[in-house]
């Protein structure tokens, strides 16, 4: 299959281009498009065969349910059999935006979309290209992040092509995405409602509208059972072996410096993925090693700017991985604001290799 790439102005998408993409969706094709969080890989959510193609193109296990994207909150009733008042309130407050809500599903949503669950995840994205596409398509659009399964989510059309070229029909290239991390998922099929995935909307923002929403961690040690299906599988994983260093910034930096020296001494090529401020602190230690070409450093945002850290994280992870390092030592920004989601993604990329110092 030849993948077509069409550039589209993210501020003023050309209606002719959007109509072509909408037609492709209605015809059962796969269309990647920008949202404010990450690029999505869309298919008509009411067409089971089209949805099956998403799983095939991504190499995604059928047990990992998809998010259904809507043009506006008025379309909720196409997909959800019941909308609790608190869910509607949250949707009204934050849609269009980086929020996904889980509700009991209507029978017309194919089981393949929800991995057989009786619930469906719903989101109204704010990106103009996404909104125009959803409006013109006139159908709900199932769209996971447009990466191969277990790879970091794509924040540019180039990332989408790197993973899915010749596996999908069309990519709308609207430039880099703004938020850079996926939406926050809140499950309203349980009481109290649970935040299943931290994301582009902070828990504080959510609780400012629906105070009853609890974070996964707040429910105690049964964390694992509280996660969304699919969240336990391999995620965001680079080719290199990534370790996340956790703790006070100063100690973390010392430990990363020491471990980098140890690894580089074995002849391994090592990458460091860290906010700018951490790299500045590491610079004197690493100058000697870097000159031997054994250490690659890759900044993402800064500890003082969680918004930029979130925006740059996945692109930084892909760029560092592309240098061919065998190990990535990563540090996270603090858990404030978007920092919670940044740390969550790094922890998943580490697949359990979290070093607390
Ligand atoms: O920002 C985003 O949410 C992006 C853009 C494209 O909208 N989409 C995205 O989709 O991140 P994806 O497929 O990469 O992640 C969707 C996750 C699943 O892995 C699963 O954990 C959760 O949403 N999910 C979907 N349906 C669910 C359900 N019925 N119950 C619980 N969790 C669900
Ligand atoms: Mg994904």
pLDDT at 230 over 80: no
Q: What is the pLDDT of residues 92-133, one digit of tens each?
A: 999 999 999 999 999 999 999 999 999 999 999 999 999 999
Question: Averaged over 213-218, what is the pLDDT?
Answer: 76
Q: What does residue 41 show for φ and ψ, rounded to 5 degrees?
A: -110, 105
Q: How confident is the model at residue 232, as a pLDDT?
A: 59
Please give the span between the terminal C-alpha atoms of the chain, in angstroms, as a whole number: 49
Best CA proximity match to 309, nearest among 355, 285, 264, 340: 340
Q: Cα(33) to centroid of ligand 2, in Å?
A: 14
Would you say 298 and 214 are in contact if contact means Cβ atoms under 8 Å apart? no
In ligand 1, which atom is closest to the CA atom of 146? 6
Q: Cα(147) to centroid of ligand 2, in Å?
A: 7
Q: Whose CA is nearest to atom 22 of ligand 1?
A: 228
Q: Cα(287) to centroid of ligand 1, in Å?
A: 41
User: Which residues are near ligand 2, the ion (C-beta closer than 5 Å)?
Assistant: 145
Per DSSP, the three-state class of 82 is coil
pLDDT at 288 over 80: no
Would you say 245 and 256 are in contact if contact means Cβ atoms under 8 Å apart? yes
What is the value of pTM for the model shown?
Answer: 0.95
Q: What is the pLDDT of residues 154-208, one digit of tens each?
A: 999 999 999 999 999 999 999 999 999 999 999 999 999 999 999 999 999 999 9
pLDDT at 286 over 90: no
pLDDT at 234 over 70: no
The two tokens of residue 221 are 């040690």
Q: How confident is the model at residue 218, as a pLDDT?
A: 41
Q: Whose CA is nearest to atom 13 of ligand 1?
A: 144
Per DSSP, the three-state class of 132 is helix
Q: From CA 34, how far away is CA 129, in angstroms rounded?
A: 7
The two tokens of residue 310 are 């979130």
**HEC states along 167-195?**
CCCEEEECCCCCCCCCCEEEECCCCCCEE
* CB 144 less than 6 A from any atom of ligand 1: yes
* CB 235 less than 6 A from any atom of ligand 1: no
Q: Cα(49) to centroid of ligand 1, in Å?
A: 19
Q: Cα(66) to centroid of ligand 1, in Å?
A: 5
Confidence of residue 222 (pLDDT cuts 50, 70, 90): very low
Q: What does residue 78 show for φ and ψ, rounded to 5 degrees?
A: -70, -35
CA distances from 74 to 63, 80, 139 (A): 29, 11, 12
For the chain, counts of helices (H) and of strands (E): 13, 16
Q: Which ligand has an atom closest to residue 178 CA? A: 1
* CB 226 less than 6 A from any atom of ligand 1: no
Q: Which ligand has an atom closest to residue 195 CA? A: 1
């Amino acid at each position: 299959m030849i993948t077509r790439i069409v550039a589209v102005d993210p501020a003023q998408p050309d209606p002719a281009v959007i109509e072509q993409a909408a037609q492709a969706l209605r015809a059962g094709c796969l269309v990647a498009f920008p949202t404010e969080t990450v690029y999505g890989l869309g298919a008509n959510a009411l067409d089971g065969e089209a949805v099956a193609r998403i799983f095939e193109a991504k190499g995604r296990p059928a047990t990992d349910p998809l998010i259904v994207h809507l043009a506006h909150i008025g379309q909720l009733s196409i997909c959800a059999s019941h909308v609790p008042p608190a869910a509607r309130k949250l949707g009204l407050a934050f849609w269009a935006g980086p929020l996904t809500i889980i509700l009991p599903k209507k029978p017309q949503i194919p089981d393949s979309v929800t991995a057989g669950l009786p619930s469906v995840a719903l989101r109204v994205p704010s990106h103009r290209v996404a909104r125009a596409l959803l409006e013109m398509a006139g159908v709900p659009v199932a769209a996971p992040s447009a990466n191969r399964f277990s790879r970091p989510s794509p924040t540019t059309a180039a990332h989408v092509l790197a993973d899915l070229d010749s596996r999908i029909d069309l990519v709308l290239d609207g430039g880099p995405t703004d938020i850079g991390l996926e939406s926050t998922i809140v499950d309203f099929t349980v009481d109290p409602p649970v935040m299943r995935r931290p994301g582009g909307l902070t828990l504080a923002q959510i609780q400012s509208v629906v105070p009853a929403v609890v974070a996964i961690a707040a429910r105690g040690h049964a964390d694992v059972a509280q996660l969304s299906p699919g969240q336990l599988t391999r995620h965001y994983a680079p080719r290199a072996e990534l370790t996340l260093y956790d703790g006070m910034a100063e100690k973390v930096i010392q430990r990363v410096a020491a471990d980098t020296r140890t690894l580089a001494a074995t002849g391994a090529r090592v990458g460091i993925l860290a906010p700018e401020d951490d790299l500045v602190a590491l610079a004197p230690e690493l100058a000697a090693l870097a000159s031997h070409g054994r250490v690659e450093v890759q900044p993402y945002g800064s500890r003082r700017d969680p918004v930029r850290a979130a925006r740059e994280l996945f692109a930084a992870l892909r760029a560092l991985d592309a240098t061919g390092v065998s190990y990535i030592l990563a540090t996270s920004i603090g858990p404030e604001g978007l920092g919670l989601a940044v740390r969550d993604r790094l922890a998943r990329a580490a697949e359990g290799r979290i070093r607390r110092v």
